[in-house]
Amino acid sequence: MEHLSLIVGLGNPGAEYARTRHNAGFWMVEKLAERWRVDWSAAKKFSARIATDRRSDRRVVLCKPQTFMNASGEAVRALVDFYGLPVERLLVSVDDADLPLGNLRLRPGGSSGGHHGLESIESHLGTREFARQRIGIGRRDGAREITGHVLGRFDAAETEVMAKVLAAAGDQAECWLEAGLQRAMNQFNGAVVGPTNEDIKL
């Protein structure tokens, strides 16, 4: 079987959600597609939009589920089954309100942390043992009710921070592909400080 990896960015489809904090995962894979100069196409059988590229010795599929966040697992399971993909070749990128804005955290598995997109994927795959990249979006004054926050938009200052974070998140995803999970965690987890490989504008 061809060596293939799947990178999934989570978000909600539709113009009204396009620039919201909850779509940070979408933004990450969109920036990778821009960096790699690959185009998105609708894949109705997966309920997703996908873009593909060849990186070194492997094919990489980028995915944006079009099922809405809470049903993300439907699209991910369909792709995993179609490609016969082992979960160690799956990376899921998501927003995280418990992580401060400007931070990245890649882990090999673990709790969903209440993120409904991750919960859906865990339910459909029957496992938590897949890599997840959390992109910090922070909270407002420590509030526990965050629906309005995650579905809101970044202000100008936050947008500048996110541009750097998304560049680093793309670098981390590429490192995961080329050097493995441990190297990607060690090199990129934590606060993103200063410029990364490229200055990406939102």
Domain annotation covers residue 49 = yes
pLDDT of 169 reads 97
Residues catalogued as catalytic: 22
Is residue 171 over pLDDT 90? yes
| Tens-digit pLDDT profile for residues 80-136 | 999 999 999 999 999 998 888 899 999 999 888 878 899 999 999 999 999 999 999
Q: Which residue has the higher pLDDT, 48 or 2?
A: 48
User: Could you tell me the CATH number of the domain that includes residue 54?
Assistant: 3.40.50.1470
**Cβ–Cβ < 8 Å for 105, 189:** yes
**Cβ–Cβ < 8 Å for 19, 153:** yes
Give the integer Cα–Cα distance in Å for 38 and 50: 10
Domain annotation covers residue 200 = no
Give the integer Cα–Cα distance in Å for 11 and 17: 8
Q: Which residue has the higher pLDDT, 132 or 154?
A: 132
Q: How many domains, the chain?
A: 1
Domain annotation covers residue 198 = no
Task: Give the chain's mean pLDDT.
Answer: 88
The domain in which residue 31 lies consists of 4-191
Domain annotation covers residue 201 = no
Q: Which tokens hold the place of 153?
A: 């938009």
Q: Which residues fall within 8 angstroms of residue 44, CB to CB, at 6 or more apart?
A: none
pLDDT of 148 reads 53
- Amino acid identity of residue 173, one-letter, is A
